[in-house]
Structure 1
Amino acid sequence: MTVRALVPLLWLALASSASAAGPRIVIDPGHGGAKTGALGAAEQVEKALVLQLSLKLRERLEEETGAQVFLTREKDALLPLPDRVTFANGKRPDLFMSIHANSMPTRKLRERVEGIETYFLSASASGAGARATADRENADAPRAQAVQNDSTLNFILHDLVRMDAHAGSSRLAYAIHQRLIASTGASDRGVLQAPFFVLTGVEAPAVLIEVGYISHPQEGARLARADYQEKLVSAITSGVKDFLKDMRKRDAHAEETAGPPQVAAPTSP
């Protein structure tokens, strides 16, 4: 059996164990501690808003999906970006979501730019705006990542698993984004790609959600309202449920088509 042929079987084994106990989800509330994130027009700070949303989202996901949901931080505390990735992989999640609120740097742009963006990982950004957003969110990232000293086989397996996770990240991003726009009526700024550090190395479908522009006078005010937060939480939960349903269908199909493993015949002496 080839190394590439092992990947669907690895995902199938992980999915089977996860389904017995419910899906495992990691939510990453952005920033925290001294890193406040974006600042809103009405003295809002991103770190507090996204933590509030993440706590509500955890409760809703647990209720509606039976998921085991883990937060990278549950209070106003600073957690370095590499530690968030390590924490996520340690939970062996079925999916990972990093929650953020966006901002614009100038008064003119702050008054004009609003809307929701959903990202998945790419080495290159979808455009200048996506690049700028990634640069802001990556401001606290280390300049270089340590390379693990894995065997060649492990390196290949990990790389292939990440490739499969990347395809899942795209599906997860679109599932969540469509629900968010339909539920909130917010400006649709699209599903985009960018090199976010916090998504790098997560060995599961992973997305970063910019729930709106906290810097926009009207949208920033909406983000602070309980009824609007309810719309965001409900939409993200619905998107996650859509993704998990799709993943179960794919797992069932993979199980049907995988067949028994092929073992190479012994060579003649």
Structure 2
Amino acid sequence: MMVRPLALVLSLASLLAPVSSRAAERPARIVVDPGHGGAKEGATSPKGVLEKDIALQIARRLRTHLEKDLGAQVLMTRDEDLSLDLPERVEFSNKQRPDLFLSIHCNAMPTKRTRARVQGLETYFLSANASNATARAAADRENAEAPSARQTRKQSTLAFILQDLERTETHQDSSRLAYAIHPKLISATGGSDRGVLQAPFYVLNGVEAPAVLIEVGYLSHPEEGKRLSRADYQETLATAITEGVRVFLAEVRKRDTPRRAAGPQVAAPSTP
């Protein structure tokens, strides 16, 4: 029996529906991605503290809170000082079929004057165009580890069609996730609010789930760099991100409730 091309596309698209709307009544499955690792050190504080280490420390604390406070199932792209390419992070995440993807990073400024002045928190979701020069600079810095265009695998026309069908709601949910997390971070830390921004981050582009990249502060700033190294401040960050995820999951579950008769529902945080 022949399958018409359009029917094939729609059939495959149904398999690629946003994870948030196809998840069964089970713990939320969340991938946490500590940026950099191994030889890829990322930003450096005035005292020589490395972004790769801070990101991993915060990610481990975040995993603990997501598991304990929300009952989530958490998988980490790395749980040690390991070099991991950006395509490997994306591939790992998609194999897990997660409900959410959270990438943890620290920001930095390039000059002595801006290092002394610029601090604050930013939360990003994917866009082809950066919100502003700051967002573009952040994406360029994080994307420096991405493969060149010649190395990336060419995609078929069908793959592009499926991505378009899939990404509409996923992109909207990424925006909702960013706006759920960011206010919690600012309220909890009292840090400078540099906003929810959009940028073409490589690691967000391929993830088949609502995904955000969180710049938890400027490691290059003398005072903020010190705070990011403190265990109590890292706990504050992890708790705030967890509360933002709780808000997002509750919103998505409420939105998807009318779909009960049509299919499985979004994972929801368990009651602590």
Place the TM-score, normalised by the shorter chain, in its bin.
0.7 to 0.9
Q: Please report the TM-score for the alignment, with normalisation by the length of structure 2.
A: 0.87
**Distance in 2 of aligned mates of 1:17 and 1:119:** 24
**Structure 2 equivalent of residue 147 of structure 1:** 154
**Distance in 2 of aligned mates of 1:15 and 1:113:** 36
**Distance in 2 of aligned mates of 1:15 and 1:108:** 43
**Distance in 2 of aligned mates of 1:4 and 1:96:** 25
Shift in Å, 1:230? 1.1
**Distance in 1 of aligned mates of 2:20 and 2:226:** 40
**Distance in 1 of aligned mates of 2:168 and 2:102:** 18
**Structure 2 equivalent of residue 51 of structure 1:** 56
**Distance in 2 of aligned mates of 1:129 and 1:10:** 33
For the pair shown, which has the larger CA radius of gyration, 1 or 2? 1
| Structure 1 residue ranges (4+ consecutive) displaced by more than 4 angstroms after TM superposition | 1-12, 14-17
**Distance in 2 of aligned mates of 1:146 and 1:161:** 19
- 1:197 paired residue among 188, 196, 202: 202
Assess if the C-alpha contact under 8 Å between 1:31 and 1:79 holds in 2.
yes
**Structure 1 equivalent of residue 227 of structure 2:** 222
- Alignment-mate amino acid for residue 43 of structure 1: G
**Structure 2 equivalent of residue 129 of structure 1:** 134
**Distance in 1 of aligned mates of 2:36 and 2:193:** 24
What pairs up with 1:170-181 in 2 under 5 angstroms? 170-181=175-186
**Structure 1 equivalent of residue 268 of structure 2:** none
Shift in Å, 1:204? 0.5
Assess if the C-alpha contact under 8 Å between 1:8 and 1:254 holds in 2.
no
Shift in Å, 1:149? 4.4
SS at match of 1:50: helix
**Distance in 2 of aligned mates of 1:155 and 1:250:** 27
Structure 1 unaligned blocks of 5 or more:
260-269
Aligned residues: 255
Cα RMSD of the aligned pairs, angstroms, is 2.3
Shift in Å, 1:18? 3.2
Assess if the C-alpha contact under 8 Å between 2:20 and 2:209 holds in 1.
no
Q: Which has the higher contact order (CA 8 A, sep 6+)?
A: 2
**Distance in 1 of aligned mates of 2:163 and 2:132:** 29
SS at match of 1:117: strand
SS at match of 1:139: helix
**Structure 2 equivalent of residue 263 of structure 1:** none
**Distance in 2 of aligned mates of 1:72 and 1:5:** 30
SS at match of 1:21: coil
What pairs up with 1:153-192 in 2 under 5 angstroms? 155-192=160-197
- Alignment-mate amino acid for residue 119 of structure 2: E
| Cα distance change, pair 7–26 in 1 and its aligned pair in 2 (3 A) | same
- Alignment-mate amino acid for residue 71 of structure 1: M
What pairs up with 1:67-106 in 2 under 5 angstroms? 67-106=72-111
Assess if the C-alpha contact under 8 Å between 1:26 and 1:69 holds in 2.
yes
**Structure 1 equivalent of residue 269 of structure 2:** none
Structure 2 unaligned blocks of 5 or more:
1-5, 264-272
- Alignment-mate amino acid for residue 224 of structure 2: E
Percent pairwise identity? 60
Q: CA offsets per residue over residues 34-82 of structure 1, 9 Å max, x none?
A: 0000000121100000000001110110111111100000100000001
Do residues 39 (structure 1) and 44 (structure 2) align? yes
- 1:235 paired residue among 224, 235, 240: 240
Do residues 22 (structure 1) and 22 (structure 2) align? no
Q: Please report the TM-score for the alignment, with normalisation by the length of structure 1.
A: 0.88
SS at match of 2:188: helix
Shift in Å, 1:186? 0.1
**Structure 2 equivalent of residue 109 of structure 1:** 114
